A and B are shown apart, each in its own frame.
Chain A
Amino acid sequence: MKVGVVVFPGSNCDHDLYHVVGRIMGFEAVYLWHKDADLKGCDAVVIPGGFSYGDYLRCGAIAKFSPVMKEVQRFAQEGRPLLGICNGFQILTEAGLLPGALIRNRSLKFICDYTNIRVDSTETPFTRRAGKASVLKIPIAHGEGNYFIDAEGLKRLEGEGQVVFRYVDAQGEASEAANPNGSLNNIAGVCNARRNVVGLMPHPERVSEALLGCEDGKKIFESLL
């Protein structure tokens, strides 16, 4: 398994992902520089969190024009596994590879905190082994993670089972109190219709080692096996 980690100017979870994918999971990990239209023969590609292009204009809005994104588009169209985490999720929605948009948190503040998310779909390459309806403890760290989509789009997402993760309480209920940022229907992550492209706001790479207090995030990467 060869996993590529895309590096944009301003990406800042690239090293974290490289560490988890390479050191913890034991996959072959490679960086993919945004100026190179080359995915180096990767089996899966991850777009990491951070502030690509400083989040100027809109989160993810400039990154989609980078040369590497043409190849990422092609990769996605071939039905191969593509994951966007946090800013990576924002980039994938801006690039039109995932539906919806991420807007300012309801509180208008950056939030770094643990959340519980429920796995609502195991029919993606990143959740196959995560356990349907299981609750994972995974932190968020974002100012713009409030998932939004128009009413029709939301209906389609829910109807087609494209909601992959939802913010829930410890009992697994998608309650209002468990919603950290105001996301519609407590949505924390979605996939495309073909289910090979997944985006989520929480950071599974931050909870993939026992020393850091939790290993729930590993289930996302183990699903690639």
Chain B
Amino acid sequence: MQKTLLQQAQEFGLSEAEYGRVLEILGREPNLVELGIFSVMWSEHCSYKSSRIHLKKLPTDGPQVIQGPGENAGVVDIGEGWGVAFKMESHNHPSFIEPYQGAATGVGGILRDVFTMGARPIANLNSLRFGAAEHPKTPFLVHGVVAGIAGYGNCMGIPTVGGEVFFDASFNGNILVNAMTVGLVRKDGIFKGLAEGVGNPVMYVGSKTGRDGIHGATMASGEFDEKSEEKRPTVQVGDPFTEKLLLEACLEVMAQDVLVGIQDMGAAGLTSSSFEMASRSGSGIEMDLDKIPVREEGMTPYEMMLSESQERMLLVAKRGCEDKVVATFKKWDLDAVVVGRVTDDGWMRLKKDGKVVAELPIAPLTDAAPLYDRPQRPADLKSRQALDWNSLSWPKDPGETLLKLLGSPNLCSRRWVYRQYDHMVMTNTVILPGGDAALLRVKGLKKGVAVTADCNSRYCYLDPRLGAQHAVAEAARNIACTGARPLAVTDCLNFGNPEKPEIMWEFAQAVQGMGEACRALGTPIVSGNVSLYNDTNGVSIFPTPTIGMVGLMEDVSKHVTAWFKRAGDAVFLLGELAGGLGASEYLSFIHGKTAGEPPLLDLAREKALQDFLLRLIDQGLIRSAHDVSDGGLALALAEACLADPAGAAGVELSLAPGLEGRSLAELLFGEGASRVLVSVAPEQAATLEQLAAAAAQPLTRLGQVRPGAFKLGPYLDLPMDRLRRVWEDGFEKLLKRN
């Protein structure tokens, strides 16, 4: 039986009401090509139809902002004529289906978003979420995703300098792969996705178009079930070598004053790039699909417009400059072909074999895309958080507990991961992965750029608004721990099915929390991405608003690192000593409970702490600074020893005796906001205490650096090499568990 157009539209992911709108806009029935274009442009992935209404509430302005959301990437000012362009994007669904290529093309896509702006990428980061370590699929996914990120980034010669990996059963059927790229751009050399100037040539550059990835954006806009693996053909295949050539060719052509605009062909390929460019400029485009370089014979207009083949760009050149563009791309052995012209009638007109195969008005498709204020219903946080504390039996030996935590999936060393990423290429990496934030020097300037990606998904599940605030605060704290001032944010909002009112509420709450924290810390959001429908068989992931943050250090030589430096240095905790066990890693791993309330967070205090820390670092007073987060004080102390590349550091604390059970667990493993572990030369200890008192900053002297030892008062005394062994072996062990 012949499918009706409505049935076809629904198969493409459009609702009946949305299809009605298509008819209204066109005043006629669409053909298949047009219907395909509508469906991808109006997919959640491309149109942000469920999220836009909330995203509008985020702070996006500030004196440092050169380019806010809406372009391929955001740009912030770092002074002396330079800007930093950055963005984060998800590639969750493809990475679950085909981990290597899914992750690799995620990296490729975000790199293009950044170099499209005219920026040379200087760093990659990623934020990964996998299912429980015990889940049979987890090792396979970890191996594939890490190898895919490595395979793409390493070949491009862009260092992968930071990120995070988190395991939880809520991601068993839906992993998260969020990739972030940071680039450097001359302020006067920023390019945008514009299609201006009637008659200017529209050019296609890069790889040829194949049949891969058709309807990838639609796939990313629906829930998963057992049949999702059948969607493997919608995952694209990456070629980092071609992308490297594309990068060099694009930067070279951008230096020649021949371009009007340029845009990556990412999700929804040629369709979204052409529509978005024309839409931004209020123009139209006419393309001749016979000119599109294709990989296979007999490709239909539908396939050409919806293909998500990688490593392609669409650009609009100045009329008469076509030959220069072609010559530059030819130098790099790449295709550059004129495929159309800019018009001024506001229509997209596609021709093939001399016939018009699609004719669509641009503004209704982009600006008038569906916009939903989806119903929300508060999730029952009280029942999520509920826990009978009296039912817990408190471990007797804190040393054993520490060793268990150090070897646990979420706290063990990530070296197995970042060792596979080239993190030193480009010779800018001043602080390597494994610390709080990575720090890159900017060649030719005294400045440094700090970068990090953070989110505690468990906090966000137990309290989405507070959890999102924590994500921003922790990212900023990580940046501040290097000595850099937090500058701006890119976000990647990973949530479940927005058609479920509780998920929509989680989303709205998280956006509110992020906005509050970003306002309080002075870090506007300049770019981002939303990934919804992260559900498999009706189970939603923990809400995960990943925060990517960039910070600026005026004099990079003043940076500090996380590890303790010299025997006898005084160790202090900046912030409150007491932590809470609610929502903690300790509660989750040792007691098997995801419950309790995340720690309180006072954003004004957080800001004051970071400002104070930055002052200390600027004055050259402290020798190390390390954020106290997952796993609490004991873990932070262990990390400040274990991170020492010389493998020598150790610590000895003098703690008051008498604590046990819950109160001891709170001291050692409790989590709390606004806390940083610092060390100073012993002769500077008094100065630090005076400065803290004057600034009304809570400060506790904990003890001193003692190589080889790990002694926490009367409670715990272990040789450092025992800690090191479990911490270093943890990751490989978890992969071998199955």
Cβ A112 vs Cβ B421 within 8 A: yes
Question: Residue B515 at the A interface, CB < 8 A?
Answer: no
A-B contact pairs, 19 of them (CB 8 A): A9-B332, A12-B155, A12-B156, A12-B425, A15-B426, A16-B426, A19-B427, A20-B427, A51-B157, A53-B241, A54-B241, A109-B419, A110-B154, A112-B154, A112-B423, A143-B154, A205-B427, A212-B430, A212-B441
Q: What are the 8 tightest A-B residue pairs by CB atom distance, in nearest-first order? A: A12-B157, A54-B241, A141-B422, A51-B155, A16-B427, A112-B422, A206-B424, A110-B420
Given contacts A10-B244, A51-B155, A54-B155, contact A19 B443 (CB under 8 A): yes
A165 to B173, CA, bound (A): 48
Q: Which residue of B lies closest to A180 (CB)?
A: B419
Task: Return chain A residues, CB-CB under 8 Å to B645.
Answer: 114
Task: Return chain A residues, CB-CB under 8 Å to B240.
Answer: 51, 54
List 5 additional contacts besides A10-B245, A54-B242, A110-B154; criterion CB under 8 Å.
A9-B244, A19-B427, A35-B331, A51-B157, A110-B151
Given contacts A13-B157, A51-B155, contact A110 B239 (CB under 8 A): no
Residues of B within 8 A of A (CB): 147, 150-151, 154-157, 239-242, 244-245, 331-333, 418-427, 429-430, 441, 443, 556-557, 645
A69 to B13, CA, bound (A): 54
Question: Residue A139 at the B interface, CB < 8 A?
Answer: yes
Which residue of A10, A13, A49, A111 is within 8 Å of B241 (Cβ)? A10
Task: Return chain A residues, CB-CB under 8 Å to B557.
Answer: 211
Cβ B423 vs Cβ A50 within 8 A: no
Question: Residue A209 at the B interface, CB < 8 A?
Answer: yes
Cβ A141 vs Cβ B420 within 8 A: no
Residues of A within 8 A of B (CB): 9-10, 12-13, 15-16, 19-20, 35, 49-51, 53-56, 109-114, 139, 141, 143, 203, 205-206, 208-209, 211-213
Q: Which residue of A lies closest to B157 (CB)?
A: A12
Cβ B241 vs Cβ A212 within 8 A: no
Given contacts A55-B155, A206-B424, A211-B430, contact A9 B419 (CB under 8 A): no
Cβ B424 vs Cβ A9 within 8 A: no
Q: How far is the CB of B139 from chain A (nearest CB, A)?
A: 14
Cβ B426 vs Cβ A211 within 8 A: no
A110 to B418, CA, bound (A): 10
Cβ A54 vs Cβ B239 within 8 A: yes
A82 to B426, CA, bound (A): 22
Task: Return chain B residues, CB-CB under 8 Å to A15.
Answer: 426
Task: Return chain B residues, CB-CB under 8 Å to A211.
Answer: 430, 441, 556-557
Which residue of A12, A19, A53, A112 is within 8 Å of B419 (Cβ)? A112
Task: Return chain B residues, CB-CB under 8 Å to A35.
Answer: 331
A54 to B424, CA, bound (A): 19
Q: Which residue of B lies closest to A13 (CB)?
A: B425
Q: How far is the CB of B601 from chain A (nearest CB, A)?
A: 34
Q: Which residue of B lies closest to A139 (CB)?
A: B424
Q: Which residue of A lies closest to B156 (CB)?
A: A12
Which residue of B245, B421, B427, B443 is within 8 Å of A206 (Cβ)? B427
Task: Return chain A residues, CB-CB under 8 Å to B244.
Answer: 9-10, 12, 51, 54
A109 to B150, CA, bound (A): 10
Task: Return chain B residues, CB-CB under 8 Å to A109.
Answer: 147, 419-420
Q: How far is the CB of A126 from chain B (nearest CB, A)?
A: 18
A13 to B426, CA, bound (A): 7
Cβ A10 vs Cβ B155 within 8 A: yes
**Of listed B240, B419, B429, B441, residue having the most chain A CB within 10 A:** B419
Cβ A141 vs Cβ B154 within 8 A: yes
Cβ A9 vs Cβ B426 within 8 A: no
Cβ A56 vs Cβ B241 within 8 A: yes
A119 to B645, CA, bound (A): 23
Secondary structure of the A contact surface, majority rule: mixed
Task: Return chain A residues, CB-CB under 8 Å to B331.
Answer: 35
Q: How far is the CB of B624 from chain A (nearest CB, A)?
A: 15
Task: Return chain B residues, CB-CB under 8 Å to A206.
Answer: 424-425, 427
Q: How far is the CB of B334 from chain A (nearest CB, A)?
A: 10
A35 to B645, CA, bound (A): 42
Q: Which residue of A lies closest to B146 (CB)?
A: A109
Q: Which residue of A lies closest to B245 (CB)?
A: A9
Given contacts A9-B245, A141-B425, contact A110 B150 (CB under 8 A): yes
Given contacts A9-B245, A12-B244, A211-B557, contact A113 B427 (CB under 8 A): no
Q: Which residue of B lies closest to A143 (CB)?
A: B154
Cβ B333 vs Cβ A9 within 8 A: yes
Cβ B427 vs Cβ A111 within 8 A: no
Task: Return chain A residues, CB-CB under 8 Å to B424.
Answer: 112, 139, 141, 203, 206, 212
A217 to B427, CA, bound (A): 12
Task: Return chain B residues, CB-CB under 8 Å to A209.
Answer: 427
A213 to B644, CA, bound (A): 13
A22 to B426, CA, bound (A): 15
Q: Which residue of A lies closest to B429 (CB)?
A: A212
Cβ B425 vs Cβ A113 within 8 A: no
A13 to B423, CA, bound (A): 13
Task: Return chain A residues, CB-CB under 8 Å to B441.
Answer: 211-212
Task: Return chain A residues, CB-CB under 8 Å to B427.
Answer: 16, 19-20, 205-206, 208-209, 212
**Of listed B240, B419, B425, residue having the most chain A CB within 10 A:** B425
**Of listed A20, A53, A112, residue having the most chain B CB within 10 A:** A112
Given contacts A10-B244, A54-B241, A205-B427, contact A113 B419 (CB under 8 A): yes
Task: Return chain A residues, CB-CB under 8 Å to B332.
Answer: 9
A51 to B239, CA, bound (A): 12
A51 to B244, CA, bound (A): 10
Q: How far is the CB of B76 from chain A (nearest CB, A)?
A: 23
Task: Return chain B residues, CB-CB under 8 Å to A114.
Answer: 645
Cβ A50 vs Cβ B239 within 8 A: no
Task: Return chain A residues, CB-CB under 8 Å to B156.
Answer: 12
A203 to B426, CA, bound (A): 11
A35 to B241, CA, bound (A): 17
Cβ B241 vs Cβ A9 within 8 A: yes
Q: Which residue of A lies closest to B443 (CB)?
A: A19
Q: How far is the CB of A52 from chain B (nearest CB, A)?
A: 9
Q: How far is the CB of B145 from chain A (nearest CB, A)?
A: 14
A53 to B244, CA, bound (A): 10
Task: Return chain B residues, CB-CB under 8 Å to A19.
Answer: 427, 443
Q: Which residue of A lies closest to B448 (CB)?
A: A211
Q: How far is the CB of A7 from chain B (nearest CB, A)?
A: 9
Task: Return chain B residues, CB-CB under 8 Å to A10.
Answer: 155, 241, 244-245
Task: Return chain A residues, CB-CB under 8 Å to B245.
Answer: 9-10
Q: How far is the CB of B406 from chain A (nearest CB, A)?
A: 21
Task: Return chain B residues, CB-CB under 8 Å to A16.
Answer: 425-427
A114 to B155, CA, bound (A): 19
A139 to B421, CA, bound (A): 13
A12 to B422, CA, bound (A): 11
Q: How far is the CB of B149 from chain A (nearest CB, A)?
A: 11
Task: Return chain A residues, CB-CB under 8 Å to B420.
Answer: 109-112
A19 to B157, CA, bound (A): 15
A49 to B429, CA, bound (A): 17
A109 to B415, CA, bound (A): 13
Q: Which residue of B lies closest to A11 (CB)?
A: B157
Task: Return chain A residues, CB-CB under 8 Å to B150.
Answer: 110
Q: How far is the CB of B120 from chain A (nearest CB, A)?
A: 9
Q: Which residue of A lies closest to B427 (CB)?
A: A16
Q: How far is the CB of B712 from chain A (nearest CB, A)?
A: 29
A51 to B147, CA, bound (A): 16
Task: Return chain B residues, CB-CB under 8 Å to A203.
Answer: 424
Q: How far is the CB of A215 from chain B (nearest CB, A)?
A: 12
A213 to B428, CA, bound (A): 11
Task: Return chain B residues, CB-CB under 8 Å to A56.
Answer: 241
Task: Return chain B residues, CB-CB under 8 Å to A20.
Answer: 427
Q: How far is the CB of A89 from chain B (nearest CB, A)?
A: 16
A33 to B726, CA, bound (A): 49
A108 to B150, CA, bound (A): 13
